[in-house]
Structure 1
Amino acid sequence: MKLSITGSSGFVGQNLLNYLQDFSIHKIDRLQLNNPKIQQFNNSEAIIHLAGKAHDLKKTSNPEEYYQVNFELTKKLYDVFLKSDAKKFIFISSVKAAVDSVENILTEDHQPKPKTDYGKSKLMAEQYIQSLELPEGKSYYILRPCMIHGPGNKGNLNLLYKFVQKGIPYPLAAFDNKRSFLSVENLCFVIKRILEKEIPSGVYNVSDDEALSTNEVVEILANSSGKKAKLWKIPSKLISGIARLGNVLRLPLNSERLQKLTESYVVSNAKIKTALGVELPKTTLEGLTITAKSFNSQ
């Protein structure tokens, strides 16, 4: 099997390349998105489109960059795919293409209403892919992962881990939440199964099975290195005020990061598991423990 992959140098890309090395993948072409050509995809079984402009919590990015990278380049790549010999197109979108906050459980039936330029640009790419007629023998898979973690992760989990290792108490324990996570190994497993099996084209959420509170995550991060989690239940109104100050002074804790750390965001993975007929290889606890131990070895 020959694959063509964009974004292979990123966090998910590096983990996917390592994962696929253990399986019968004959050749992997690492694509540059600047000017994709049909010839690049001929003889490829599938295109895995990982490249994209990530959500910038510091709000320093030009909003137009999201649309140029996440929409325009995806559009150009998909147009070439439709004319090429490749059979499958796997696009890594995001749950943020659906909604920024979830009251109950997010399923694929939820009417998309993204509020950020990141989410809007991802949704535009999804809608473009869905709007075009598929030639016979071709299929597309729009994967919407939630917060991805694993070896090499540099996001909020890494920040939490550093707090725990320094013995700094977690001050947001008063916030009661549940949120879904996604082990990068589970994401790689899903991608590999899509390559192996014929399932209907469409949009699929991807997450681990269990949703955890941030307090539970802090405990997992602490336990991974033999420490005891320190959880402080400081009044939530006081913390929110500090976060608003962080917006102005550019502190590590700002309103958006506070929301990401304390909001509930539960994602259903039932559709993709049913379509593939599988159980995921890693539980939420196992995946987060692997991630935590990778931080410990850095």
Structure 2
Amino acid sequence: MKVEKIFVTGGSGFLGGALLRHLAKGDQYSLIAALRKECRELPESIRRFAFADLTADDINWHDALNQVDVVVHSAARVHVMEESAVDPLAEFRRVNVDATLNLALQAARAGVKRFIFISSIKVNGESTRPGCVFTADDVPAPVDPYGISKLEAELGLQALSTTTGMEVVILRPVLVYGVGVKANFLSMIRWLQRGVPLPFGAVHNKRSLVSLDNLIDFIVACIDHPAAANQTFLVSDGPAVSTTELLRGIAAALHSSSILLPMPVNLMITVANVVGKGAVAQRIFGSLEVDISKNQRLLGWVPPVSFQCALDATVKPFLESCKK
């Protein structure tokens, strides 16, 4: 499939912006970015399509989709730890289901050949048992409103593909880290940089992660690979790591020693549940491991960036900012 023009939503976001900057390094593609706010970090060569509200019923994507070959849809209402909406599922559906399917329908009518949807591993579920892994062909089992909304969007896109012929590629990344990462991952970097003792020296879980660079590389592979058409893929760095291994890797990237105390995991989980932080404890102590062998089998893809190199790249800007 010859691809000349690519339309990326979420152009001012963590993933969408990084993807656009990567694609703009060459002259292979003409790029259009859907932006809710101005993003000065994007190269001037990228055409901007501004919108005020992704969920507006009257939003018209016609001009942005004109002669577009591939859409990469990364814009979404993302999972949050502290939800404030009265009806979270309704809010997630407005953005992640209704707005996605509106865009996809207009894309199909405009003649777009392929629609790449950035979904979430939460469609598979929240955790895996020891010795078990999620695969792309598992029966979906989302638990929270975010995961449910992503699954509903996937099902809607697959139905739309059947009726219109537009190819749909669904990607379910695990937790993404990289330059510009925020939330808990950034907090871990700050704790370790300050030498704060952490009670995570004996956590033997298995969590799959994916670096921003590896995820972008896989998206690029899916842009025109014929075998990617109408497939669902899980995306990770490959081997899963424990929370202890992750913290030690970040400390190594910071060129500092980590103080990780071997506290009993069961005790910490109990305390977390008592203080209402059970969801946080699940992320720290639980396992979520995925199998990405399908990616190599169908597309010949293996993660190009190693775990430690990805951590080094993630931490580098943080170290540079500390020197200023």
- Which whole-Å CA distance do the structure 2 matches of 1:271 and 1:231 have between them? 36
Pair 1:59-2:83 in alignment: yes
Distance of 2:302 and 2:266 partners within structure 1: 41
In structure 2, the residue matched to 1:238 is 267
TM-score under structure 1 length normalisation: 0.92
Q: In structure 1, what is the equivalent of residue 101 of structure 2?
A: 75
Is the Cα contact below 8 Å between 2:176 and 2:212 reproduced in 1?
A: yes
Contact 1:5 1:29 in 2 (8 A): yes
**1:244-259 equivalence runs, <5 A:** 244-247=273-276, 254-259=277-282
Residue range with higher mean Cα deviation, 231-240 or 149-158: 231-240
TM-superposed CA distance for 1:10, in Å, is 0.5
> Which segment drifts farther, 90-99 or 286-295?
286-295
The structure showing larger relative contact order (alpha-carbon pairs under 8 Å, at least 6 residues apart) is: 1
Match of 2:42 in 1: none
Aligned length: 291
List 4+ stretches of structure 1 deviating above 3 A: none
Is 1:8 the counterpart of 2:11? The answer is yes
**CA contact 1:3–1:45 (8 Å) conserved in 2:** yes
Deviation at 1:45, TM superposition (A): 1.1
Question: Equivalent residue for 1:91?
Answer: 117
Check whether the contact 1:186–1:280 (CA below 8 A) recurs between aligned residues.
Answer: yes
Pairwise CA RMSD: 1.7
Alignment partner of 1:78: what SS?
helix
Output aligned runs, 1:108-127, within 5 Å. 108-127=136-155
Cα deviation, 1:89-112, whole Å, max 9, x if unaligned, reads 000000001111112111012111
**Aligned residue for 1:190?**
218
Q: Which amino acid aligns with 1:216?
A: E
Q: Which amino acid aligns with 1:148?
A: V
Among 207, 217, 221, the alignment partner of 2:250 is 221
CA distance in 1, matches of 2:246, 2:209: 10
Q: Is the CA contact 2:23–2:29 (under 8 Å) kept in the aligned structure 1?
A: no
Distance of 2:316 and 2:5 partners within structure 1: 33
**Residue 245 of structure 1: how far off its partner (Å):** 4.3
Identify the residue that residue 251 of structure 1 maps to in structure 2: none
Measure the CA separation in 2 of the matches of 1:187 and 1:7.
15
Shift of 1:29: 1.6
The residue number in structure 1 matching 2:43 is none
Q: Give the unaligned 5+ runs of structure 2.
A: 35-50
- 1:8/1:246 Cα in 2 relative to 1: closer, same or farther (>3 Å)? farther
Alpha-carbon distance, 1:134 to partner: 4.8
| 2:200 aligned counterpart, secondary structure | coil
2:308 aligned counterpart, secondary structure: helix
Return the TM-score normalized by structure 2. Answer: 0.85
Percent identity for Structure 1 against Structure 2? 30
1:260-287, Cα deviation, whole Å (9 max, x unpaired): 1121111111112222213221022221
